[in-house]
A and B are shown apart, each in its own frame.
Chain A
Amino acid sequence: MRWSLLIFLLLCAQSSGAIDSESFDDPVLQKRYQSIIFELRCLVCQNQSIQDSDADLAKDLRRQVREMLLDERSDLEIMDYMVERYGDYVRYRPALRRSNLGLYLAPALVALLGIFLLVQTLRRHMVSAQQLDSNQAQQVQEALPNDE
């Protein structure tokens, strides 16, 4: 009973994962195919990879990738082929260029800015906390009854 449930669940996972029926017998090729089509943007859909999309163009591009893989072209050659035709836009991880340097550096710069602001704010709080402490200490001193 337990086993049949497990097998049932595995079958479900299998069917939901197979968006396009065309797959490779060779697991290595299949893995390369999956990773390539996951990284290529579907140009006519909003924010979908060609692996995700059911658009005609996505199907054609998948077919193109498949044919090139069967043709023993390397992953790099396939990516270059797509970029030559559709530009950097077609890749979710475009090659680093001068034109997109800002895009790659922005997260690090924003993180640095965040750390800088955090340190500044913390320092200010610590200073004011110390000052408060000494003031308060004085207040406490004065408020305390003088028992001799």
Chain B
Amino acid sequence: MRHAWPFMLFLGTVLILALSLGRDADEVPSPFIGKPAPALSLPSLLSPDQTVSLEQYAGRAFAVNVWGSWCPACYDEHDFLLALAKQKTVPIVGLNWKDTREEATRWLAQLGNPYEDVAFDAAGDVGINWGVYGAPETFLVNHEGVVVYKHVGPLTADVWQQEFMSRLQ
């Protein structure tokens, strides 16, 4: 009985550590989930004299995909984005983050453009406003304008099916 104490402490420690094993410590939960999407009003990447704003999507669900031509993981998810755009489930709004206009334009010309609109955020201020900390990140906004999900890292068909489609109903 005298030796039960250290053993229980040990078991407790093992339990706590085991529970945290399954969690990705790098993933920061977004505080935006369940809240209205932050404002976005930026010059368009492809037609600089036009403004991209989210108001034109009011009443519709849409995805916001944060990307940059400097980002290898964005390259990985690009094929899936193209396939997703073809399905026409929801419009994808691109947020081109901390990029240059030339390189981003060349990227879309070479790889194809899955975006309904691409907002150009060279300084990264809008990214900060959306709590972005690394591209690619994909937000799902529902028809009420509320952020319902955020995925960090390359989007895949599995993630889309499990996390996004289930929240679109």
Total B residues in contact with A, Cβ cutoff 8 Å:
17
- Answer whether residue A43 sits at the interface, using C-beta atoms and an 8 A cutoff: yes
Q: Pick the most buried of B30, B31, B127, B134: most chain A CB atoms within 10 A of its CB.
A: B31
The B contact surface, by secondary structure, is: loop
With known contacts A60-B128, A61-B128, A83–B31 Cβ distance under 8 A: yes
Contact partner of B130 (CB less than 8 A), chosen from A57, A85, A117, is A85
How many A residues, CB 8 Å from partner? 15
CB atoms of B29 and A87 under 8 A apart = yes
B28: interface (CB < 8 Å): yes
Decide if B128 touches A64 in the complex (CB within 8 Å). yes
A43/B128 contact (C-beta < 8 A), A57-B133, A86-B133, A117-B5 known? no
| Cα A61 to Cα B98 with chains together (Å) | 13
A44 at interface, CB cutoff 8 A: yes
In the complex the two chains form, is B28's CB within 8 Å of A85's CB?
no
Nearest chain B CB to A72 CB, angstrom units? 19
Residues on B facing A (Cβ under 8 Å): 5, 28-32, 98, 123-125, 127-131, 133-134
